[in-house]
Every structure is written in structure tokens, then in C-alpha cells.
Structure 1
């Protein structure tokens, strides 16, 4: 069973309010990209594809080379789906973990658990129960409290059998 990681890093950082793409925002002296790559390098995928914003491929190659000797950096699209598709075009393995560089503190153990679950599932999405109270709102007025026991906060890496994700992207 071979596994690739597609590291989606082409986000502009608009919601973050940053003047630079999210992946190159620094936290404690390292970019979010570097922090993500550090955890991915501990996982040791068979293949790594980094999806970069247009114009930043050389910078992303330089940062990725600190952690990997064999990798590919490709230009992402305007949407996450387009960026994932750009990364998937390079995948040569049986399985793929799609991870967001903005989730830079995801430990190796999460990658391991998602990868292990792919032995019996075509798609695996890590999720957590929300701790916060969640309200449904209309026009700034609270309609009701949502039962948080029925909700999950979806995270990455999201794991797929490569053929399953390619079929989904083509649909």
C-alpha cells in the first residue's frame, strides 16, 4: 500500500486577514508550511505533492527542500477543489492524504490513524465533537441551540483511495 500526501497550500489568507498567503504566515519563527512539512516528514509518505499559490513555486520548493529531497510543487487553482485536483494530477500511489497547510499543528499520529483506516475504507475524514455551544441564527437572531452531539468538526488530513477521489473530482 503506497500513500501520497497532497499538501494544499494555495490559500490566499483572506479569512485570516493576512497580507501574504496563509502558508507563509509565520508562527514562532516558522511558516505554517514549514510546520506542516515537519509533521508530514515524520509520517514519511511515499510521495509528497505541495500545491502552491501562483508565483510562489520557487519559495515553496526552497521551504519543502528543508524536509524532503523527493517532492513536487505544483500551482493551485482559485478554489480548494481546483488546488486538490492540481495536486492529484501528480499522484502515483494507491492512497492519498489531502492536508491543509493551515492546519500546521496536526501531529503524525493523526496521519497514521487516517492512513490505517484506509485499509478498510475508501474515504476517511478525521473529526472531533465540538466543545462549544452552537446556535442557529437568522438575521442576527438566535433561532435555536443545535444539538452538538450530532455535529462534528471536520479536519485534515482527509484520506482517500486515489481512484475514489479522482472519480469525485471528475463528477
Structure 2
């Protein structure tokens, strides 16, 4: 994959409350911080913007522009959007450290065509709707997908979506939800199991294992 002609936005201002180990951006796995891992597939990007926790010192040696993040992920992305200078943006969570260049390219290609694209995976497990802490109705998993990042958008479209959300008081856990709230369709592309999200402490065991493999096989990045 050649140069990534997009502004890469990485909201990394969260405090990692569920992990309880401090800001995720600075958590070390396999000899690198999660932020360093997250930046690897974008090392040839035309522009990389990172939102850090307020008062955090920007890491040295990383090719990125650092901004102060907001109180929420949504606020951090909005601040990064203001600084983006290219017509296409990729929004990627720092908590997903293992993203291949192939996944980035798939999202980029779909975003260039459709204006909005996200990677998804089928749900592998049985889904149930709990009934007072008991096994309830089984929900057909075929109709559901797990959503990942990076997510790609026309910059103007995502700015419009964030402005609409502020006006309507909408909040969302990812940017595709805000774009969809405008009535704009979001294309789906094939995701990757290795692009899992580090959320709980047990996720760190898997992250350490993946980091060892990826460190020995850099071409997979």
C-alpha cells in the first residue's frame, strides 16, 4: 500500500476507566504503547492528528500532530476534524492496536466511492435477550455485525454529521452513527479479527500474543 491520502484522526484522550491502568494511549504491549501500535499502519499517511488527554505530554519520536482531546470521544473527534486539511478522513480508535494495511486500504477504497465506510465482522456467538437474569429469547445472529475502526468518510460529510449531532444533542459511540443520523448510507467492508478492541484486562493477554507475532512479521502490517 502506498501513501494514504487522507487525514487520520485518532481520538486517544480516554482514561481507560474499564481497564483501570491509566490512559490507553500510553499502555505498553509487546514493547510499544497502544498509540505506537495504532499509528503503524498509517506511517505513510499524508496527515495524522491525535487527541491526547488534557495535560498529557505528547510522546517524542512519533510522526503526528497532537491536540488536546475533549471530555468524550465524540468531542475529541470533533476537535480533530477542525484541524483536518484533506477531503477524506479515517477515524481510528487507539484501543484497536492491530490493524493491517489491507484493512486500511479496503476502508479507504470504499470511502472514496461511497463517502462513508466502516469495517464489520459477523457475530460468532449465540445471542440471547436476557429475561430477568435468565436465558431468554435467542436473537438470530445472522442479522447483526460487530463494528470496528478505522472508519472512513468524506471530511465535509463527517463535519456536517458532527454539527448536526451538536445541534440535536445526539451522542454516539462511533462516527458512523452520526453520519447515519443524517440519513446518509454507510457502506460495510470486511473487517479483521485481529482488529479487536482492548477494553478489559483479559484483552491484554491476547494483545501481548498478537504483538509478539506482529513484531516478528512486520510485513503483515
TM-score (ref. length: structure 2):
0.69
State whether residues 10 and 92 of structure 2, in contact with CA within 8 Å, keep that contact through their aligned partners in structure 1.
yes
Counterpart-to-counterpart distance in 2, 1:135 and 1:40: 38
Aligned pair 1:5/2:8, yes or no?
yes
Q: Could you tell me how far 1:30 is from its partner in structure 2?
A: 1.1
2:154 corresponds in structure 1 to 161
The equivalences for 1:7-156 within 5 A come to 7-18=10-21, 20-41=22-43, 44-56=44-56, 58-60=57-59, 62=60, 65-66=61-62, 68=63, 71-156=64-149
Count residues with an aligned counterpart: 161
- Cα RMSD between the aligned structures? 1.5
4+ aligned runs moved over 6 Å, structure 1 = none
Q: Which runs of 5+ in 1 are unaligned?
A: none
* Unaligned runs of at least 5 residues, structure 2: 165-221
State the alpha-carbon separation in 2 of the partners of residues 140 and 127 from structure 1: 29
The Cα shift of 1:78 comes to 1.2
CA displacement at 1:145 relative to structure 2: 1.5
Deviations 1:78-125 (CA, angstroms, capped at 9, x unpaired): 111101001111000000000001100011111111011122111101
Larger helix proportion of the pair: 2
- Taking structure 1 as reference, are residues 109 and 90 closer, same or farther at Cα in structure 2, changes over 3 Å only? same
- What's the offset of the Cα at 1:2? 3.7
Shift of 1:135: 1.7
Distance 1:149 1:17 in 2: 34
- Pairwise CA distance, 1:159: 0.4
